[in-house]
Amino acid sequence: MKRIRSIVFFITLICLIQTTEVCAAEESNTLNDFNVYVLLEQKEAIAGKLWKIKSKTGFFISDPFDSEEQETIKNSGLLISQHEDDLYVNGKKLAVDCLKIEKIGFDDLVINDKTYTGFLLLIFKNNSWHLINGVGLEDYVCSVLRSESWPGWPLEVNKAFAIVQRSYVVSQLLRARGKKKIGRGFLYDVGCTNKHQTYNGSHNCEILRQAVNETAGIVLAHNRRPIIAMYDTCCGGIIPSKISGVNFTDEPYLARSYPCTACADCKVFSWKATYTIDEVEAIIKAENKSIKKVQHIKVSKRDLAGLVKEIKVKSHKKVVSFTGKKAYSLFKDIKSFCFSASRSGNQIIFSGTGYGHHLGMCQWGARQKIKEGLPYTEVLKFYYPGTTFMKLEVA
C-alpha cells in the first residue's frame, strides 16, 4: 500500500453577516457547494468486502489529489474490497490510500438502501478505511431535518429546527478543521449518528426542503461564531443553568436560567422503564462481574437541576456505584438523566421526566410555543439566550 499522505482538502471559507430578521430566501447554490464531510462508516483494514455502492448511471473514480487520474466505470455497482493490504474495485487492484467516487449524471449514490448526494471519499488511516460523504451544506441540513424532526410537524417548526441544525454542524466543522494538525490532515467534520446529528442520506420531503430553503444560510451566533446548538426531544422542565459539568463559560447561550413549561403536556414528558431483577442483574454483570443477586437500585446523588449523578446497586453482599451517565447508557429504556428508581416485587422501575440531555432547544416545547402563535425566531431566542441571527456567505 502507498505511503499515507497528509489528507488535506481545499476548504471554501465562509463568513458571517449580521442580520436582524429571518426572511424567506431561495436556496443558495453557492452555499450548497460548501461541503460538509460526514463519516458514514469506519472499517478495520482486514481482508474481505468493505462496501457495495450502486448508481444506475455509473461512476467516476479518481485520486482526490490528481484530477487527471480519473477513470469512468459504467457498471451500476462498485464492489469495494480489500485483500493483502490492497484495495480492489470490482476486482481490480488499486494502489491507493485515498479514493474519490462520484456519480455519472443525475442518479445518486446508494449504499445499504440509503441514497446520498454529493460524492464519496474512501480514506485509509490508522489501519482503517473511512467512508466519507462530501455533501452540500443545505442538502446535509435537509437530510438531518428528516431524521431529527417529527413527521407531520408544521413548516414554521421545521424552520426553527433547520436553523438549529445548520448552526450546530457549522460550529462542529469549524472546530474539526481548526484542530487539523500538520502532517495528520483533516478527515471529516461530523459522524452520521446522534453523537452529532443523525444523517441518513437524501429524501424527497417537500416541506422539509421548503424549511431549509426559506432559512438558507441562517445560523444562530454568539460573539460572531455559530453556536453549538444543542437540542433534545423534551427537556422535562429542567433549568439548564443548574446542570453540573457543562462548560457554560464557553457556551453561555446554553445556560438558560428559566424553565421551559411548554412541553409539560406532551406525550414524552414523563415515562417509565420496567426491568425484571434478572434483566437488571444481567445488565449490571456485563459491566461488573462481581455483582450477584441484585436486591435494589437507588439514586444516591443529583445535581442542582435534579439530574442523576450517581446510582447505587445493592446486592446481597456489596453495594456498587455507577454514574448517572453510565446508568443511562446501560439501561436503554431510560430516556433522560432526570429519573428515580424503585423496586416492586420482582421488578425495578425507573420513572422519569424529559427525553434527552436537557440542553438547548426542547423540540416539543418549541412546537407548542409556535402552535400558540409565537414566531419561530422568538422561540429560538427563548431557548438560546444572548444569541443573534447571522447569515453565512461564501468568502
CA 288 to chain centre: 30
pLDDT recorded at residue 234: 97
**Residues 175-229 pLDDT 10s:** 888 766 543 467 899 999 999 999 999 999 999 999 999 999 999 999 999 999 9
Q: Which three cell numbers stand for residue 33?
A: 457547494
Neighbouring residues of 126: CB distance < 8 A, sequence distance ≥ 6 = none
CB burial readout 277-316, b (16+ within 10 A) else e: beebbebbeeeeeebeebeebebeebbebbbbebbebbbe
Say if residues 147 and 138 touch (Cβ distance below 8 Å). no
CA distances from 29 to 18, 133, 136, 213, 268 (A): 20, 18, 9, 10, 38
CB–CB of 121/113 below 8 Å? no
DSSP 216-253: TTEEEEETTEE----EESB-TT--GGG-TT--TTT-GG
Q: Which helix (H) or strand (E) holds 199?
A: none
Total-model pTM: 0.89
pLDDT tens digits, one per residue of 141-166: 999 999 999 989 999 999 999 999 99
For residue 11, the model assigns a pLDDT of: 39
Residues 46-62: what's their mean pLDDT?
89
- 228 contacts 356 by C-beta, under 8 angstroms: no
Distance set, CA 93 to CA 48, 83, 289 (Å): 13, 9, 47
Task: Quick: pLDDT tens for 361-394.
Answer: 999 999 999 999 999 999 999 999 999 999 998 7
Select the more confidently predicted residue: 88 or 66.
Answer: 88
Confidence check: pLDDT of 68 > 90: no
Nearest-10 crossing angle of helices 206-213, 155-178:
60
How far apart, in whole angstroms, are the C-alpha atoms of residue 163 and residue 219? Answer: 5
Q: Give the mean pLDDT of 48-58.
A: 91
How far is 346 from 231, CA to CA, in rounded Å? 36
What pLDDT does 22 receive?
59
The per-residue pLDDT for range 217-257, each reduced to its tens digit, is 999 999 999 999 999 999 999 999 999 999 999 999 999 99
16: pLDDT strictly greater than 60: no
d(CA 338, CA 218): 33
Give the residue, 318 or 135, on which the prediction is more confident: 135
pLDDT, position 67 = 65
CA 126, distance to chain mean position in Å, is 23
How do residues 80-128 score in pLDDT, each as one tens digit? 998 877 889 999 998 888 899 999 988 889 999 999 999 999 998 888 8
